[in-house]
Structure 1
Amino acid sequence: MRKLDNVFLCFSLIILVGQTTTAQSPTKLWFDEPATYFEESLVLGNGKMGASVFGGVESDQIYLNDATLWSGEPVDPNMNPDAYKSLPKIREALANEDYKLGDQLNRELQGKFTESFAPLGTLFLKFEHDGEVGDYYRELDISNATAKTTYQVDGVKFSREYIVSHPDQIMAVKLTADKEAALNFSVSFESLLKFETNVTSDALKVDGYAPYYVAHNIQRNVKDPVRFDENRGTRFSSYLGIEHEGGELTATGDSLAVHGANEATVYVSIATSFNGFDKDPAKEGLDNKAIAAEQLSQAAKKDFEEIKAAHLADYQPFFSRVALSLGETDAPNLPTDERLKRYFHGAEDKNLEVLYFQFGRYLLISSSRTKAVPATLQGIWNPYVQPPWCSNYTMNINVEENYWMAETANLSEFHMPLLTYIDNLSKTGEVTAKTFYGVDQGWAACHTSDIWAMSNPVGDFGNGSPQWANWNMSGTWLVTHLWEHYQFTQDKEFLKNDAYPLMKGSAEFCLNWMIEDSKGKLITSPSTSPENSYRTNDGYRGSTLYGGTADLAMIRESFLQMIEASKVLDVDAEFRAELEQALAQMHPYQIGKKGNLQEWYHDWDDSDPQHRHQSHLFGLHPGNHITPASTPELAAACRKTLEIKGDESTGWSKGWRINLWARLRDGNHAYKMYRELLQFVEPSGLRTDYSKGGGTYPNLLDAHPPFQIDGNFGGAAGVVEMLMQSHEGVIDLLPALPDAWEEGSVEGLCARGGFEVSMDWSNGQLQKVTVLAKSGGKTTLVCNGKEKVVELAAGERVAFDW
């Protein structure tokens, strides 16, 4: 990997064939050498199939994933049926202020860990090259979701073009040489899972299966942490064919080889037996072999250009909905890793800022198109059998952060994998509510989950710290996504048939879970604040308490939304009144002695004052009930909390803080955090190092570290929050515009109420606005104290000077 001692080298001297020293494209990542590490690879995906392309010369490797290939099998939610019986003694310990005992007893409310998102395998393309390699170049163009690799060997130019098509459910790689009969390569496959390879005269077929169990990577003492059984686990197939012009195709052992061709196209089809969260994939699974074979057969009837044309027709209408310009840039044309280093040292690169935002949108389109299978901690790109945190759905922030910009950045359809997943989670969550929390109404979900919709608290039945294992409010958080989807789409049928029952089930759990404190106020007990811990006045460091601010903030937000939903649908008046009464009785927010918003029931310090989580600020963002205008004292307390925490944190946390500062209408601080999110981070593999903070890897993937995709999505969402907000009943234009973005334009941002907004600004002042009403209605636009009321019919558009 390139090491630069001085990132301010003479950039003007760096010239590549076909490249100029003009400013960077806002839609391309490019490099002048192959990837060595995963964090340098270029990621492609169709929402189910993921590919990470290294672009090597003698050997190109492509990591393959399928969103539905996980370890495990359907979960038994009734894994700890008597856990709830421990609740009385936990609550008694807390009422007696014995927090150490509360921590110890809280471990009795724990179950199993999640399963892991699995790597399918690696495709190898090996080339017969003799001679010096020159003019190397590889790129990912996110405007067309296409990757390319080009180079020369002995005067012959070789090129590869890679796409992963949603319409054809296929990966296609086109290989060419500009000299006749110069193309010589072989294709083979390896996997960390169990598999068999069958090579025929024209196809390479791999069939295998995932483990039925993978231990969490924090479980150090588990014997046989990865367990296979040929009769258990999800099946997978990876079938490959090659079409070639000229030359000869031969089968050699476990590979296919092409010799003397002018060009060739490699087709890769993958499929799994996953057939739903509650179906045994070995006994009740889909026919992965038939599906993979059919996809390959259909794709082979088309040439590369036909597949590419369908791919572009599918992808580009989604991507092109939003366009962003931040004005002129003088940044030179550099490889993306050098560009990141230059930017982090303070240089201007407005097109890099645009690229990072649009890259977030690209990643969501590429990783979130499978019903009830959301993007994981790593999207759909994971090379490890025991990945960090199981590459699962971590629901105390991370999976939610993945979807913050789905609605605002005009990608509502790609929100659906998460929204449909919530229904699965509610099924197991009914059992979790009863057996872990003694609540017979509604449903609950906890810290983490997986494709099997596991909803129980984790910790391996008492071995986990309550600091991270015992939190039980993810269902409450997740249902807020359902209401947000309705607010942006105005889809009343979705609200009635899909969202409302799930929202109500979560609210029923919360009503029955809360108890009264000594003052008669409703609180949660036991309570934790995600992954954080407190220090009592006498020095005890613990995690289990009662009345956690984060719990109550999420309950408040979900109750407020539930009340509005019942009004929209004109149903459940009695239940609505019950929610309103509960809201009035809930323990209120408290402002601490430092002027901060208290995270804990008592005015205690955090064990780690700079902790990466800021869950108790939920009401400010992603919640909507704390704002500088409506609750100025609470907003000021949120500001003080962020000041105490400081700006240095992990990647996803920086992404969240961008949004929080934008909601505080401090565009310059939000922008500072955005720049820091783009701090260059060296590839780190499986290493977790909180001390060095987060940032961005060479391929623009978020560095937690290690890689977590939530920072990409959170950062992209933050850009929208700086430019437009609509959570206070109006559409607020340029509410947190940073000084650095004094000139610009944006097209296609979405606002609550079903409106789409485009605008231009100059010298930091709004100039022009265009509003499209998707479903018709009335709204008020606000900017710098000026208001304009707009009322439009469905599909009507209006443009005006501000």
Structure 2
Amino acid sequence: MSFESSIRGFAESALPAMSHPRYYLVLLCCLLASRCLAQQPLKLWYAQPAATWTDALPLGNGRLGAMVFGGVSQEHIQFNEATLWTGRPRPYNRPGAAQYLPQIRQLLAEGKQAEAEALAEQHFMGLKDHEESYAAAQAAWLQRVRAVPVAQATAATHAWQPLAIPTPNGWESAGLEGLDGAVWLKTTFDLPTAWVGKDLTLSLGRIRDVDFTYVNGQLIGTDEGISKKRRYRVPAAALRPGRNEVAVQVLNFYDKGGLIGVKEKQPVFVVYPEGSAPETGVPLSSSWQYWVQDAEPPLSPSYQASYQPFGDLRLDFSSAGAVTDYRRELDVSQAVARTSYVQSGVKFTREYFASAPAQALVCHLMADSKGKISLKARFQSLHAQAKIYRVDDHTLALAVQVRDGVLRGVSYLRVSAKGGKVTVTDTQIQLENVDEATLCLAAATSFENYQDATGQPEKLVAQALGRSQGQAYETLKTAHVADYQKLFQDFAIDLGHSPQEQLPTDQRILKFSPAADPALLALYVQYGRYLLVASSRAGGLPANLQGIWNEALTPSWGSKYTTNINLEMNYWPAEVLGLAACTAPLVQFIDEAAQAGQATAKSNYDAPGWVLHHNTDIWRGTAPINA
């Protein structure tokens, strides 16, 4: 458990105690004296690699973000570039919306909520991307995927793969990230002899979005919508003695898909005689099989765009043997992460940082014996349109194109090494028996501004790596730390010390109380400051719902800008805690929203000035959404 994944529980335990007046007094004194207090050691550290994305250590320079897992045999660095979003510059405002406003208000005054929402959805809400072409495209796609006979769709000749059911967070959480379309799933159950000749009920919980459910090739039910629990009658005539097959064609148009189940005490995936309790039934196996029939449904209409992941860097190491003295840490005072361990008598150390001066993610690999570093570095990406290629003898590239939008991105990974051998192919960079190595990763997109997506990312990444080429690692690190500390060092907080500080951060959180570990509260404050510096720097975009870090093609709420509270919350402590410079992207954002919002004020309210509703995105859509 990391600081990030435990933060909610920590806050819940800390905040009630901090409501006592003496804590406010202590904090006030600390704030007033912040410039003259000695800074405590500011490190999050762990005795094991990250098991999940939320356990990884975040790095950022305001434009590039990375999550570092710290694995031993394989390092995983998931990275983002702040301007890689879906969508495009387009009209967001619905023409003539203002003329319906009096009628919507009247319906609300009369208590006719549903009628008001329906009218607003049709005539007042903003324009959705693809809304004009979607109906015809969806009808044609549905006709195509439904035309396949069930016997053909469930035949053993398909490349069936295992899938554990349910997937409460969608099949994306089971490794099928970004999958939309038509997917077939199947399992079997054995019919008890006592049930022969009886009608049964098949329970499948909730399904996203549409299902066509079959038993032994006979359609027994279909429904649509996440809120509906699927319980279908299975006529006795559709059953056979012994083994029976359940097959479900799931149609998922956007966001998360699959058999997501339902939270309730009684069994969910079960078959039982009609009129009986589910507890008396035969549970369906959690081990299903699936194959993807069609992964290209028409693009679903959407009010606004979503922030996207860029790619993943994997470092596969050749060293083997037992590992001791493992440590993974983030030095908040320097914005440098480290992984170190001893393997087969050799101490290996990696340092990572996201440099604003170099506009690159930097990873430095060291060993205390010469010639001990051997690895293969490779790119991965969730984007279906992704290409990996060789640039030169020291550089590998990843190019991506978002599916639902115009933006494309390019990332270059360049390596410099001492000793050994470096080989670059069209798929990887291989290091053999080197003494030490530095990897520099740059990434950029075609985003120019909210009205222009014609930039040249290849040129930008080449320029970024050109600035750092030939510089020694220590030079890059010194410049990075100096630049970061210009923002970070103007504030300090000291709430006291205790032996708990010697524990790994995850253990400190589990054992936390304000009296036993006051220094963790100070670290909590400084870690929050660190995250804002990492995700909001002058010249870039403001911190979004997830700062600058996102691993999913369909992140929660689009990982965009929720302007009724969340965007403001990102910046609440900025000026109080000495980070006024980090508000520059927010100020620019407000200026651009004011420009875009003038058209919305006119179209929706026939009013002068400007307006921004409760959500916006990189393209500065200011129209109302979600009636």
TM-score range, shorter chain: 0.5 to 0.7
The answer (yes or no) to whether the contact 1:74–1:277 under 8 Å persists in 2 is yes
The structure that is strand-richer by fraction is: 2
Task: Provide Cα deviations, 1:327-346, integer angstroms capped at 9, x if missing partner.
Answer: 233425222111111116x7
1:434 shift after superposition: 1.6
Q: Which amino acid aligns with 1:276?
A: N
Work out the CA distance in 2 between the residues paired with 1:205 and 1:93: 57
- 1:566-585 correspondence runs (5 A): none
1:182 to 360, 364, 372: 372
Once residues 451 and 94 of structure 1 are traced to their aligned partners in structure 2, the CA distance between those partners, rounded to angstroms, is 32
Letter in 1 for 2:348: F
The one of 444, 447, 471 aligned to 2:611: 444
Residue 457 of structure 1 pairs with residue 471 of structure 2 = no
Write out per-residue CA displacement over residues 116-165 of structure 1, whole angstroms, 9 at most, x where no aligned residue: 11101001111012211111101000100000000111111101000111
Q: Is the 8 A contact 2:491 2:578 kept in 1?
A: yes
Matches within 5 A, 1:400-799: 400-439=568-607, 441-459=608-626, 466=627
1:150 aligned partner: 340
Query: Residue 263 of structure 1 is aligned with which of 424, 436, 451?
Result: 436
Where in structure 1 do 4 or more consecutive aligned residues deviate above 6 Å?
1-4
Measure the CA separation in 2 of the matches of 1:372 and 1:176.
Answer: 33
Change (3 A) 1:367 1:235: same
- What per-residue deviation string (whole Å, max 9, x for no partner) do you get for residues 407-434 of structure 1? 1111111101011011211222111112
CA positional deviation for 1:244: 0.7
Distance 1:377 1:235, change over 3 A: same
Find the partner of 2:520 among 343, 352, 356.
352
1:30 is aligned, of 30, 42, 45, to: 45
Equivalence for 1:164: 354
Find the residue that maps to 1:323 and give its secondary structure: coil
Q: 1:208 to 1:103 in 2, by over 3 A?
A: closer
Contact residue 77 and residue 431 of structure 1 kept, 8 A: no
Report the CA distance shift for 1:312/1:372 in structure 2 as closer, same or farther (over 3 A): closer
What is the letter of the counterpart of residue 436 of structure 2? E
The gaps in structure 2 that reach 5 residues or longer are 10-38, 129-302
CA distance in 2, matches of 1:72, 1:98: 34
Partner AA of 1:383 in structure 2: E
Greater length-normalized contact order (CA 8 Å, ≥ 6 residues apart)? 2
State how far apart, in whole Å, the 2-side matches of 1:314 and 1:322 are. 15
Distance 1:385 1:114 in 2: 14
Deviating more after overlay: 427-436 vs 412-421: 427-436
What TM-score, normalized to structure 2?
0.64
> Residues of 1 paired with 2:518 and 2:352: CA distance?
28
Whole-Å separation in 1 of the counterparts to 2:614 and 2:577: 27
Q: Is the partner of 1:390 in helix, strand or coil?
A: helix
Matched, 1:92 2:284: no
What's the counterpart of residue 28 of structure 2?
Answer: none
Alpha-carbon shift at residue 212 of structure 1 (Å)? 3.2
Cα distance, 1:436 vs. partner? 1.8
Matched letter for residue 27 of structure 1 = L
Q: Secondary structure at the match of 1:400?
A: helix
Does structure 1 residue 295 correspond to structure 2 residue 486?
Answer: no
- Give the conservation status (yes or no) of the 8 Å contact 1:267–1:300: no
Q: 2:83 aligns with which of 62, 68, 84?
A: 68
Displacement of 1:270 after TM fit? 1.1
Q: Tell me the secondary structure at the aligned position of residue 416 of structure 1.
A: helix
Q: Distance in 2 between matches of 1:140 and 1:196?
A: 32
Q: How many matched pairs?
A: 416
Aligned to 1:248: 421
Amino acid at match of 1:84: A
Aligned-pair CA distance for 1:318 = 1.3
- Answer yes or no: is the 8 Å Cα contact 1:372–1:424 preserved in 2: no
Give secondary structure in 2 for the equivalent of 1:301: coil
Q: Give the drift of 1:98.
A: 4.4
In 2: Cα distance, 1:157 partner to 1:185 partner = 16
SS of equivalent to 1:180:
coil
Instruction: Assess, with a 3 A threshold, how the Cα gap between structure 1 residues 54 and 88 changes in structure 2: closer, same or farther.
Output: same
Distance across 1 between alignment mates of 2:120 and 2:375: 59
**Kept after mapping to 2: 8 A contact 1:395/1:449:** yes
Shift of 1:399: 0.6
Q: Is the contact between residue 372 and residue 420 of structure 1 (CA under 8 Å) also seen in structure 2?
A: no
Question: Residue type matched to 1:365 in 2?
Answer: V
Structure 1: any 5+ residue segments left out of the alignment? 8-23, 214-232, 460-465, 467-802
Counterpart-to-counterpart distance in 2, 1:448 and 1:433: 15
Deviation per CA, 1:704-725: give whole Å up to 9, x if none. xxxxxxxxxxxxxxxxxxxxxx
Quote the Cα distance in structure 1 between the aligned partners of 2:111 and 2:84: 46
Q: Secondary structure at the match of 2:357?
A: coil
- Contact 1:48/1:370, CA 8 A, preserved across alignment: no
Instruction: Spell out, residue by residue over 1:644-663, the C-alpha distance to the aligned partner (whole angstroms, 9 max, x if none).
Output: xxxxxxxxxxxxxxxxxxxx
Post-superposition CA distance 1:249-307 (Å, at most 9, x none): 0124500111111111111111111100011x1xxx22210110121122122011000
Q: Does residue 197 of structure 1 match 2:388?
A: yes
Q: In the alignment, residue 326 of structure 1 is paired with which amino acid?
A: L
SS at match of 2:460: helix
SS across alignment from 1:325: coil
Shift of 1:372: 5.9
Greater mean deviation of Cα atoms: 200-209 or 51-60: 200-209
Pairs within 5 Å for 1:252-331: 252-279=425-452, 281=453, 285-331=454-500
Mapped contact 2:335–2:353 kept (Cα < 8 A): yes
Q: Distance in 2 between matches of 1:189 and 1:73?
A: 26
Judged with a 3 Å threshold, the aligned counterparts in structure 2 of structure 1 residues 148 and 340 are, in CA distance, closer, same or farther, namely same
**Contact 2:337 2:353 (8 Å CA) reproduced:** yes
Amino acid at match of 2:332: I
Pairing 1:395–2:563 present: yes
Q: Deviations over 1:566-586 (max 9, x none)?
A: xxxxxxxxxxxxxxxxxxxxx
- Quick one: percent identity of the two aligned structures? 39
Aligned to 2:326: 136
Distance 2:442 2:112 in 1: 58
> Contact 1:30–1:336 (CA<8 Å) still a contact in 2?
yes
* Cα-to-partner distance string for 1:434-464 (whole Å, 9 max, x where unaligned): 212222x0011111111100101112xxxxx
